[in-house]
């Protein structure tokens, strides 16, 4: 099975889900209930046909839920109706039918029932061994891009034995079920005995096979040995700068945007994660990655060579690593906007706050949240190098490409957080009404995660785009464009895709994801650029697009667009690197003058009201340079938001890192001097008091260093 680090986005207008998840769950539950009722009727008749139909439909629904709707099964577990209880009910109905079938001796019925129970005992025994195996294969940390073979890593056991008790119970019980149904149909108990024996052998054989992973040669090292290895690796690698990241599954983009700037630093950079799933969520990189879930193990970094940690986001677990006094911490954020989240009071917990330009410094000052201005450093945005500068208006006979990239709804109920709910459909309708507009719609990855209205608006916008495309026509690229994209996709996937077996667990992935090949990151960057070129060339120039997923990246969409329509978010600040025209939807309810005053990032923007009535004039100003009155304002705002062009942001980022590393060194030197002075101070404190000591007269200070408090 291929676990992709990047996936091709869906086609334009493709809905994220044809049927709501709740409807599918309810339908699956209804099928399960119907299957049990059919099987119950078959047990009362008794008749093998309804028993077989009920069991087959029920088992098939179970397997579907395990694969596609695990949340539905978790709800059933909360009701104490888990897979074991459901399978036991099915088997009980088989036993009821067996008892009601004439011609089967009572002794045979009892023996078959006891044998069936022995299968459950074997199932629980296998589950116990599986639990032991999973515990031995759960290391206190995970790695990627590090040779960890010394930890005795080995391939994982089959999933059905180690991690899929539901599927194991259904599959291994199949011979017993089929043969018991045959017994019900023929009144011959020998069929049931054969089937139950086969199921019992499957359980026992699977348990013995699984137990092999508990042998010393297949079992990874213990926790203490593993942690000792990690400390030894840190001592050999000697990292000085690390990026620390903790977050949910959809927040990986916040760390991914800092991978390239981090890789360009000196001093053996490192990535430190806290969530195990995040190891596979990060993009392809040459940087070594260590995931340390437990805070007790994380504290071992105190004795490493790490001097600086960079933090792209705040999280509950960030406070844990801030306890390490030997490491200096800088908050670099994952983007800057005028929202409150860009000047969170949590920022004062860091040693330094690194921002893009003067705007962010002023934002912290005005917020008055306790961040000392002396701790704020302007480093620009080193990620913005791929953004191409403004190349002028679209050709008079060509299409105007407009990128609509609304942000998500956020954690508060502020209507100004996102335009997608109040203005999104109006903006899209107004843009689609212009025949010379080509729309690129790229919603935020977290759209709809908090407010269902945002998810519904997103679905309606996608339908509008699909309908608009159906009403359009024009030339399409030839088959050679699709072939080139396919070739480039295969090339990029080969560099960014890790090939794992379906049964692979974390330990096996660590085994396969050892140190990357030399210049891997450079090859990935070149392959990504070639893929993006092939991607845009494979699409009709006149066709609107819905762009989701990690490919193509947001900055690639910037380079395609003549105009951006967005919300108050970091998207605006990044887009300004190219100094192209942009518009911001004002759904805050503030008058335009106050809106511009409150949010400095919109000073050089055209402001759209929720009804999107200003879209025609906006498009006219983009197409006619004489009507674009905000050119100078964009240039000035770019420097205000992102800082000066010289020295480049990459240089300022490197200088800030080196300076903070030097500060960490100075602190360590101070602490070392204090540690050397401490024993003498303790001895002096323990000396007896008196007017005379060693023949000297008291009352005058003794020459020596000033007292130091430790």
**Packing angle of the helix pair 70-78, 21-44 (nearest 10 deg):** 60
Segment 487-508 shows an average pLDDT of 86
pLDDT at 701: 34
Per-residue pLDDT, averaged over 21-32, amounts to: 81
Residue 514: predicted pLDDT: 84
Same domain, 435 and 353: no
Write down the pLDDT at residue 679.
Answer: 63
More confident residue, 199 or 360: 199
Q: Which residue has the higher pLDDT, 514 or 310?
A: 310
d(CA 533, CA 512): 31
Phi and psi (nearest 5°) for 146?
Answer: -135, 135
DSSP state of 404: E
Residue 686 has pLDDT above 70, yes or no: no
pLDDT at residue 687, rounded to an integer: 44
Omega prior to 46 cis, within 30 of 0: yes
Residue 709: pLDDT band (50, 70, 90) is very low
Above pLDDT 70, what percent of the chain? Answer: 91
With a cut of 60, say whether residue 692 has pLDDT above it: no
6 pLDDT higher than 70? no
Does 328 fall in a domain? Answer: yes
Domain range for 636: 400-472+542-642
Statement: residue 350 has pLDDT above 60? yes
With the C-alpha atoms ordered 583, 529, 477, 469, is the resulting torsion angle positive or negative? negative
Segment 197-206, tens digit of pLDDT: 999 999 999 9
> Does residue 317 sit within a domain?
yes
On whether both 68 and 193 belong to a single domain, the answer is yes
468 and 594 together in one domain: yes
Do 189 and 63 share a domain, yes or no? Answer: yes
**605 shares its domain with 631:** yes
Per-residue pLDDT band at 496 (split at 50, 70, 90): confident
The predicted structure's pLDDT at residue 251: 86
**Of 587, 611, 642, which residue is a domain's last?**
642
For residues 204 and 283, membership in a common domain is answered with: no
Alpha helix ranges (H) inside 381-504: 424-432, 452-470, 479-496
121-135, 157-171, 578-592, range with greatest mean pLDDT:
121-135
Q: Indicate the Cα dihedral angle 150, 155, 159, 165, nearest 10°.
A: -40
Q: Are residues 373 and 414 in the same domain?
A: no
* Segment 25-44 mean pLDDT: 88
The predicted pLDDT at position 409 comes to: 81
Would residue 681 count as lying in a domain?
A: no
Kindly report the CATH number assigned to the domain that includes residue 301. Answer: 3.40.50.2000
348 with 406, same domain: the answer is no
Query: Of 8-17, 323-332, 417-426, 556-565, where does mean pLDDT reach its minimum?
Result: 8-17
Question: What is the average per-residue pLDDT within 636-641?
Answer: 92
Q: Answer yes or no: do 121 and 182 share one domain.
A: yes
Q: Which whole number is the average pLDDT over 641-654?
A: 92
Element (H, E) at 400: strand 400-405
Overall average pLDDT of the 221-229 stretch = 95
pLDDT digits (tens, 9 = 90+) for 369-416: 888 999 999 999 998 888 999 988 999 889 999 999 998 887 666 666
Q: Does the pLDDT value for residue 696 go beyond 50?
A: no
For the stretch 392-403, pLDDT in tens is 899 988 999 999
Confidence at residue 700, expressed as pLDDT on a 0 to 100 scale: 34
CB 208 within 8 A of CB 122: no
Last-in-domain residue among 358, 384, 410: 384
Question: Does some domain include residue 263?
Answer: yes
Confidence tier at 639 by pLDDT (50, 70, 90) = very high
Over 80: is that where the pLDDT of 34 sits? yes
**Does residue 103 carry a pLDDT above 80?**
yes
Q: What is the pLDDT of residue 697?
A: 35
Which H helix or E strand runs over 355?
Answer: strand 352-355
Long-range contact pairs involving 30-33 (C-beta distance under 8 Å, separation at least 24):
31/57, 31/61, 32/58, 32/61, 32/62, 32/86
Percent with pLDDT over 90 in the chain: 59
Of 164-168, 338-342, 516-520, give the range with the top mean pLDDT. 164-168
Which comes out higher in pLDDT, residue 432 or 61? 432
Q: What pLDDT, on the 0 to 100 scale, is given for residue 338?
A: 66
Q: Is residue 219 pLDDT above 80, yes or no?
A: yes
Angle subtended at Cα 110 by Cα 108 and Cα 112, rounded to the nearest 5 degrees: 65
Per-residue pLDDT at 9 exceeds 80: no
Report pLDDT for 691.
Answer: 40
- Mean pLDDT score of the chain: 87
For residue 527, being part of any structural domain is answered with: no
Give the 3-state secondary structure of residue 561: coil
What does the pLDDT average to over 166-184? 92
Question: What's the average model confidence in pLDDT over 276-295?
Answer: 93
At residue 341 the predicted structure's pLDDT band, cuts being 50, 70 and 90, is low
Residue 153 has pLDDT above 80, yes or no: yes
Is residue 662 included in any domain, yes or no? no
Residue 367 pLDDT > 80: yes
Looking at the structure of the chain, the number of domains it has is 3
Please tell me which residue, 530 or 680, carries the higher pLDDT value.
Answer: 530
Q: Which of these three, 622, 642, 662, is where a domain ends?
A: 642
> What is the predicted pLDDT for the residue at 76?
84
- Among 561, 586, 563, 582, smallest CA distance to 573 is for 582
CA distance 173 to 203: 9
Look at residue 494 and tell me if it is in a domain. no
* Domain assignment of residue 558, yes or no: yes
Indicate the pTM of the whole model.
Answer: 0.79
Same domain, 426 and 338: no
More confident residue, 114 or 267: 114
Spatial contact of 299 and 324, defined as CB atoms under 8 Å apart: yes
Q: Are residues 449 and 567 in the same domain?
A: yes
Residue 681 is predicted with a pLDDT of 55
Q: Are residues 375 and 427 in the same domain?
A: no
């Amino acid at each position: 099975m291929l676990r992709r680090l990047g996936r091709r986005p869906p086609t334009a207008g493709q809905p994220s889900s044809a049927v709501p998840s709740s409807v599918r769950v309810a339908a699956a539950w209804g099928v399960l209930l119907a299957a049990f009722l059919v099987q119950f009727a078959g047990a009362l008749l008794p008749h093998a046909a309804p028993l077989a139909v009920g069991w087959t439909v029920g088992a098939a629904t179970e397997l579907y839920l395990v694969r596609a709707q695990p949340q539905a099964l978790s709800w059933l577990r909360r009701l104490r109706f888990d897979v074991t209880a459901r399978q036991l009910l099915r088997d009980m109905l088989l036993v009821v039918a067996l008892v009601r079938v004439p011609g089967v001796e009572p002794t045979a019925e009892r023996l078959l029932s006891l044998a069936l129970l022995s299968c459950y005992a074997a199932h629980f025994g296998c589950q116990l061994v599986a639990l032991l195996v999973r515990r031995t294969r759960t290391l206190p940390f995970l790695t990627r891009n590090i040779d960890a073979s010394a930890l005795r890593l080995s391939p994982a056991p089959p999933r059905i034995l180690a991690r899929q008790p539901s599927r194991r119970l259904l599959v291994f019980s199949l011979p017993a079920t089929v043969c018991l149904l045959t017994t019900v149909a023929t009144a011959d108990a020998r069929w049931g005995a054969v089937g139950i024996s086969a199921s019992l052998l499957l359980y026992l054989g699977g348990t013995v096979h699984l137990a092999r992973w508990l042998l010393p040669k297949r079992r990874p090292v213990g926790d203490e040995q593993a942690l000792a290895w990690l400390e030894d690796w840190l001592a050999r690698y000697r990292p000085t700068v690390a990026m620390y990241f903790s977050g949910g599954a959809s927040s990986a983009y916040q760390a991914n945007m800092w991978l390239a700037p981090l890789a360009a630093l000196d001093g053996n950079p490192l990535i430190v994660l806290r969530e195990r799933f995040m190891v596979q969520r990060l993009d392809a990189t040459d940087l070594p990655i260590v995931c340390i879930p437990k805070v007790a193990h994380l504290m071992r970094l105190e004795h490493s060579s790490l001097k600086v940690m960079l933090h792209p986001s705040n999280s509950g677990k960030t406070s844990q690593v801030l306890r390490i006094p030997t490491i200096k911490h800088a908050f670099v954020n994952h983007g800057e906007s005028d929202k409150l989240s860009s000047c969170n009071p949590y920022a004062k917990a860091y040693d330094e706050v690194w921002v893009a330009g003067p705007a962010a410094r002023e934002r912290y000052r005005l917020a008055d949240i306790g961040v000392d201005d002396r701790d704020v450093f302007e480093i620009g945005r080193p990620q913005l190098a791929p953004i191409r500068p403004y190349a002028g208006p679209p050709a008079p006979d060509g299409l105007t490409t407009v990128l609509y990239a609304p942000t998500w709804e956020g954690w508060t109920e502020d209507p100004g957080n996102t335009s997608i709910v109040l203005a999104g459909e109006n903006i899209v309708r107004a843009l689609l009404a212009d025949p010379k507009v080509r729309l690129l719609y790229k919603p935020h990855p977290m759209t709809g995660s908090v407010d269902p209205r945002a998810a519904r608006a997103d679905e309606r916008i996608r339908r509008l785009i699909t309908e608009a495309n159906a009403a359009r026509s024009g030339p399409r690229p030839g088959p050679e464009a699709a072939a080139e994209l396919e070739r480039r996709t295969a090339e990029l996937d080969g560099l960014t895709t890790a090939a794992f077996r379906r049964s692979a667990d974390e330990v096996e992935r660590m085994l396969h994801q050892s140190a990357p090949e030399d210049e891997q990151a450079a090859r990935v960057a070149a392959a990504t650029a070639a893929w993006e070129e092939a991607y845009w060339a494979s699409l009709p120039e006149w066709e609107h697009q819905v762009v989701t997923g990690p490919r193509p990246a947001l900055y690639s969409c910037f380079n395609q667009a003549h105009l951006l329509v967005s919300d108050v978010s970091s998207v605006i600040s990044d887009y300004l690197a190219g100094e192209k025209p942009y518009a911001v939807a004002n759904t805050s309810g503030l008058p335009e003058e106050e809106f511009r005053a409150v949010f400095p990032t919109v000073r050089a923007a055209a402001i759209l009201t929720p009804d999107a009535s200003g879209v025609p004039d906006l498009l006219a100003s983009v197409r006619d340079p004489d009507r674009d009155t905000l050119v100078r304002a964009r240039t000035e705002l770019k420097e205000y938001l992102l800082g000066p062009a010289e020295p480049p942001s990459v240089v300022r980022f490197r200088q800030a890192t080196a300076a903070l590393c030097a500060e960490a060194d100075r602190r360590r030197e101070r602490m070392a001097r204090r540690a050397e002075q401490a024993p003498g101070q303790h001895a002096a404190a323990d000396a007896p008091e008196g007017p005379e000591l060693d023949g000297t007269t008291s009352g005058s200070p003794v020459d020596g260093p000033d007292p130091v408090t430790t």
